Structure formats: structure tokens, C-alpha cells
């Protein structure tokens, strides 16, 4: 089972009390106030969700980081992933390694050109043939790739040509490991999201709203 929370970032939330010391340090280093605001709300929601699951205060979460800087919980079977784009964040939690991603259309980006440059030939053709839905199809593939990369704890550059059709994704190069079980997320509006769990075993996915 994977649980995913949608988190609106354009809300007036009592965020500061849920931040860790590391969150506050990182937030203070963000110069742009809008970027800093989104960071604070997203990480406060993440901490509140994890703290509720573990029965501790957000400030007492047993968080650590891998050598690549990826945060994780020590001494627990809980795995999590955070992604945000625009005014929406996603928090995903499961009992195995996972990754979540969300994105939305950006002015000036040509989805067909991006797909031709970075995706597999079949995927580029799929985006090109999608007509008025080309941008959404591009984002659907992009978020699937990034979710798999996050589940692997790797770098996006290694996953851009990862073929992501179907529920179970295999990396033919072996660089990302895997396989990954991938689910598209039913997010409303312009945002598109996906979650990927390590391993081929199917998993149900529940989507919740953090700020109602």
C-alpha cells in the first residue's frame, strides 16, 4: 500500500512549528520569498504526516541523509518521498522504497521537442501523435521517469530514456536497478503526478488531501 497526500502550497498554514532544525536552516538559505514559502509549507506538511504515522513530534523525527543527500527515517520501516511543482506538493509514504513526482505545464517549453531530445523513440512518437494532449502526455511520461529515478535513489540523467509504459517498469541498461511498480496519480487541474515503488509487486494507492 502506498499513501499519497496532495498538499496545497498557497494556504496560510501554521507551518513553522512542524519544521526541523535542518528545515529552518535550509529555508533561511533560500533567497526568493515565494520559493521559501513553498518550501516551508511543503516540508511542514511532510513532517506532520510522518510524525503522525510514527507517533512523535515533528521536531523529533529520526531523519538522516544518504551520501547523496536524500532524507530517510532511521530505525523504521517507513519510506517517503516529496515532490512539488508550482503551488502543489505531493507526499508519498509506503513500506518500501518509493519515489513521487508532480509537474505542470511551463511557458515556453515545447513538449514535442523535449520528448524528441530526451525520451525513447517510441515515447517521442507517442507525444508527437497526441495532438492537443501532447503536453499532458509528455508530463505523464516525465513524472513516471522521475518517480522511478527517485525510487532508485539515483540521478534524473540516468532515467530520461527509461521506457515507462505499463505498470511494471524495467531498466534495460541496469543502471537504475528495479523493477518498479508505477501508478499514475489522479490529480485535478493542470498538474500531473506519478508514484513508483521499488519491486514488481503491485500496490494499491490511496490519495488524500492534507489541507482541506
Task: Dump pLDDT digits (tens) for 138-147.
Answer: 999 999 999 9
What are the Cα distances from residue 120, in Å, to 34, 104, 165, 194, 198? 35, 21, 11, 19, 22
Q: Which residues, 6+ apart, have CB-to-CB distance to 64 below 8 Å?
A: 71, 72, 73, 74
Asked whether the predicted pLDDT for residue 77 surpasses 80, the reply is yes
What is the Cα–Cα distance from 9 to 89, expressed in whole angstroms? 7
Query: Cell numbers at residue 166, please?
Result: 505499463
Which whole number is the average pLDDT over 72-83?
96
Nearest to 90 by CA among 1, 203, 199, 3: 3
In which band, very low, low, confident or very high, does the pLDDT at 212 lie, cut at 50, 70 and 90?
Answer: low
Class of domain 2-209: alpha beta
Please tell me the predicted confidence (pLDDT) of residue 41.
Answer: 93
Please tell me the predicted confidence (pLDDT) of residue 24.
Answer: 92
Q: Which residues, 6+ apart, have CB-to-CB distance to 125 below 8 Å?
A: none
Task: Dump pLDDT digits (tens) for 148-159.
Answer: 999 999 988 888
- Decide: helix, strand or coil at residue 104: coil
Q: Please state the pTM of the whole predicted model.
A: 0.94
Asked whether the predicted pLDDT for residue 188 surpasses 80, the reply is no
Please tell me the predicted confidence (pLDDT) of residue 95.
Answer: 97
% of residues, the chain, pLDDT over 70: 98
Share the mean pLDDT of the chain: 93
Domain boundaries, the chain: 2-209
Please tell me the predicted confidence (pLDDT) of residue 211.
Answer: 72
Task: Dump pLDDT digits (tens) for 111-127.
Answer: 999 999 999 999 999 99
Please tell me the predicted confidence (pLDDT) of residue 13.
Answer: 66
Task: Dump pLDDT digits (tens) for 4-62.
Answer: 999 999 987 666 678 998 999 999 999 999 999 999 999 999 999 999 999 999 989 99
Please tell me the predicted confidence (pLDDT) of residue 14.
Answer: 66
Please tell me the predicted confidence (pLDDT) of residue 157.
Answer: 82
Amino acid at each position: 500500500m502506498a499513501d499519497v497526500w496532495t498538499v496545497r502550497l498557497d494556504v496560510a498554514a501554521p507551518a513553522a512549528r512542524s519544521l526541523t532544525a535542518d528545515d529552518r536552516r535550509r529555508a533561511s538559505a533560500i533567497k526568493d520569498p515565494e520559493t521559501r514559502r513553498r518550501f516551508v509549507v511543503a516540508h511542514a506538511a511532510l513532517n506532520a504526516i510522518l510524525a503522525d504515522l510514527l507517533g512523535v513530534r515533528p521536531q523529533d523525527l529520526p531523519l538522516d541523509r544518504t551520501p547523496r543527500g536524500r532524507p530517510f527515517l532511521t530505525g523504521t520501516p517507513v519510506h517517503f518521498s516529496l515532490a512539488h511543482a508550482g503551488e502543489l506538493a505531493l507526499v508519498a509514504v509506503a513500506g518500501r522504497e518509493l519515489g513521487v513526482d508532480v509537474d505542470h505545464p511551463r511557458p515556453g517549453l515545447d513538449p514535442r521537442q523535449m520528448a524528441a531530445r530526451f525520451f525513447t523513440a517510441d515515447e517521442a512518437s507517442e507525444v508527437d501523435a497526441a495532438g492537443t494532449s501532447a503536453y499532458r502526455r509528455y508530463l505523464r511520461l516525465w513524472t513516471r521517469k522521475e518517480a522511478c529515478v527517485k525510487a532508485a535513489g539515483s540521478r534524473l540523467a540516468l532515467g530520461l530514456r527509461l521506457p515507462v509504459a505499463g505498470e511494471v517498469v524495467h531498466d534495460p541498461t541496469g543502471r537504475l536497478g528495479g523493477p518498479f511498480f508505477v501508478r499514475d496519480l489522479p490529480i485535478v487541474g493542470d498538474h500531473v503526478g506519478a508514484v513508483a515503488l521499488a519491486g514488481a509487486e503491485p500496490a494499491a494507492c490511496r490519495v488524500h488531501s492534507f489541507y482541506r
